[in-house]
Amino acid sequence: MRTLLTGAEVYTCDGLVKQDISICDGRIQFGAQDMRYDRTENLTDCVIVPGFADVHVHLREPGFSYKETIRTGSMAAARGGYSIVCAMPNLKPAPSSMESLREELDIIARDACVHVYPYGCITRTQTGRGELADLEAIAPYVVAFSDDGKGVQEEASMRSAMLRAKALNVPVVAHCEDEAELVPGGCIHDGQYAREHGHIGINSASEWKQAERDIRLSEETGCQYHICHVSTKETVELVRQAKKRGVRVTCETGPHYLIYTDMDLQESGSWKMNPPIRSAEDRAALLEGINDGTIDCIITDHAPHSAEEKAKGLDNSAFGIVGLETAFPTVYTYLVKTGKMSFQRMIECMCINPRRIFRLPGAISTGTKLREAGIVYHDGLIEGASADLCVLDLKKQYRIDSSTFCSMGKSTLFDGAEVFGEVRANYIGGNIVYPFA
Ligand code: DOR
């Protein structure tokens, strides 16, 4: 299949450049070539960027296919412009041994329509407690080790996990939550809204104290360490200082933490996720962290649940919202178009940094030589790389409608939102994965 994409601006190492893209044998070439094309697309007014990469999603299979499946979750990813998603291990069975991981890998091989890379567990039961998983056996097949959904409670366990992960050259990715700091029944940020509406709060210390411990352990062991869904100003500052000391630490946050504060909450389960949306001060610190390079990635934490599980108000609903089909338009509309973040920074956080940190495949230059030479440049699409591309129509304005989601989860904070920016097409290895055939 030979495809010619004409008329678009392309996100290259030289910035956005008006450039035709020729896709031949699944690879990118710049400019139209002297050949017959099977397909030509006129994309005037569109921008072509590397496909998005989300290192934090929940696809629920095996074990919870009433919430989502690899097929529906990866279709949601394709529609959202993602080439790659990394699937968290809170599954049944949890992927802590080769036997349990194989079940997940088989479903991925059969049903995924974008690249899906699984996480392996840190602990055998993925509860943040007890014996460690069979890290050595699963290492070659997982993107990283994580117990996402649970913090690893014992310092000795985390140290031992980091030492083994370091020897395997696999990152440790942590949901930081110190259960000793928590009041049971907490459902939203422990702040003004919780006090005024009589809800039990989830305090900031439960996140940052464990992040502080883990940064110390990463410094001690030399293990590559990445912090999940950072929500507090204290965690941002801890990561900023650790990076200055040269600790191998990176981190992520999600669109909802950057767009909302706890004072936007409503009495609905859609506003419930863990960690919770925090105060205006926390949101400002997160944005500052995005812009000064402290926060590396924007993830969705796509966490689908059934309608019933999300219909029980703030106190009793399940934690989690979906995000794969809304991340790009909401980040673009609320953060880029309003001048809070540049388009380039959005691409770095959603396409470039996830690939670089987790050594994921994709059509980007890592630009090491240029960086060593001290030349300021963009990472971007390069010739010869696999054509994992996303075509964006930035001018398209529309209303988000959760009933059209491919995801089985419909709980979102953006239903009915008027947004700019539509994913027109998504190519992986030169094959069109969205719109669906
Ligand atoms: O909101 C959340 N949902 N936070 C988590 O840590 C887990 C996730 C889920 O799996 O539903």
Is the pLDDT reported for residue 403 higher than 70? yes
Cβ neighbour number for residue 235 with a 10 Å cutoff:
30
Q: Tell me, what DSSP letter sits at residue 403?
A: G
Q: What is the pLDDT of residue 363?
A: 55
Is the pLDDT reported for residue 77 higher than 90? yes
Q: What is the pLDDT of residue 232?
A: 99
The CA-based angle 322-353-218, given to 5 degrees, is: 95
Return the active site residues: 301
Q: Which of 66, 147, 148 to mutate for ligand 1's pocket (most ligand atoms within 8 Å of CB)?
A: 148
Task: Kindly indicate the confidence band of residue 93, based on its pLDDT and cuts at 50, 70 and 90.
Answer: very high
Q: Tell me, what DSSP letter sits at residue 36?
A: -
Distance 318 CA to ligand 1 centre (A): 8
Ligand 1 atom nearest to 273, measured from its CA = 1
Is the pLDDT reported for residue 351 higher than 90? yes
| Overall residue count recorded for the chain in this entry | 437
Residues with CB under 6 A from ligand 1: 58, 90, 148-149, 175, 273-274, 303, 319-320
For the chain, percent of residues with pLDDT exceeding 90: 92
| CA gap 34, 237 in Å, rounded | 53
| CA gap 240, 77 in Å, rounded | 30
Q: What is the pLDDT of residue 14?
A: 80
Kindly tell me the burial class for residue 292, based on how many C-beta atoms sit within 10 Å of its own C-beta (0-12, 13-18, 19 or more): exposed
Q: If you average pLDDT over residues 183-201, what whole number do you get?
A: 98
Tokens of 141: 């097949």
Q: What is the pLDDT of residues 298-346, one digit of tens each?
A: 999 999 999 999 999 999 999 999 999 999 999 999 999 999 999 999 9
Ligand 1 atom nearest to 320, measured from its CA = 1
Average pLDDT across the chain, whole number? 95
Q: What is the pLDDT of residue 360?
A: 86
For the chain, percent of residues with pLDDT exceeding 70: 96
CB–CB of 148/56 below 8 Å? yes
**Per DSSP, what are the bridge partners of residue 53?**
84
Is the pLDDT reported for residue 1 higher than 90? no
Distance 210 CA to ligand 1 centre (A): 17
Model's pTM, two decimal places?
A: 0.96
Task: Kindly indicate the confidence band of residue 367, based on its pLDDT and cuts at 50, 70 and 90.
Answer: very low
Residues 6 or more apart from 390 whose CB is under 8 A from it? 48, 49, 50, 51, 52, 81, 82, 83, 423, 425, 426, 427
Q: What is the pLDDT of residue 368?
A: 45
Distance 146 CA to ligand 1 centre (A): 13
Instruction: Give how far the C-alpha of residue 301 lies from the chain's centroid of Cα atoms, to the nearest Å.
Output: 6
Ligand 1 atom nearest to 175, measured from its CA = 6
Distance 303 CA to ligand 1 centre (A): 6
Tokens of 258: 């950057």
